[in-house]
Amino acid sequence: MGADFGYRGKRLGLPEEGPGAIAPIGRRFGAIFIDWSLCMVIAYGLLARGDQQAAGNWALGVFLLMSALTVGTIGCTPGKRLLGLRVVSEGGGRLGFGRVVVRTVLLLLVIPALVWDRDGRGLHDRLGRAVQVRM
């Protein structure tokens, strides 16, 4: 038994399915995998000069820059775009640059991204007042 809280995103006024609905967890993990792989390739090939240890460190900076620029301008990273996701503010508009940076820094710390609410939003999204939705 237990309380019925409705579908994910109901409290935020989002539809249950289709465009604008909360992004599925599997797609979100897929998008972060694509984005991280892209950052590792860029870091390894352009910045670390073949040093795998340095590539991992450089990839953090590349991810921060890529995420801040792409989410701050078009609302999605390359991985999110490929999988049909975007990041919007809780009100449905674009995120401001400050909130994008806060969200990205918290995402890089990993732990906030692993703490979810009943809508499936990570702590990094809650503190950045962001929602990942389907396109």
Question: Rounded to two decimals, what is the model's pTM?
Answer: 0.89
Over residues 112-122, the pLDDT tens digits come to 888 988 888 99
Q: Say how many C-beta atoms besides its own lie within 10 A of residue 114's C-beta.
A: 10
Over residues 9-55, the pLDDT tens digits come to 988 899 999 999 999 999 999 999 999 999 999 999 999 887 888 99
Give me 42's structure tokens.
Answer: 């860029």
Q: 3-class secondary structure for the chain? A: CCCCCCCCCHHHCCCCCCCCCECCHHHHHHHHHHHHHHHHHHHHHHHCCCCHHHHHHHHHHHHHHHHHHHHHHCCCCHHHHHCCEEEEECCCCCCCHHHHHHHHHHHHCCHHHHCECCCCCEHHHHHCCEEEEEC
pLDDT at 111: 85
Q: Which residues of 81-112 are buried (b: 16+ CB within 10 A; e: fewer)?
A: bebebbbbebeeebbeeebbbbbbbbbeeeeb
Over residues 48-76, the pLDDT tens digits come to 887 888 998 999 999 999 999 999 999 99
Residue 6 has pLDDT above 90, yes or no: no
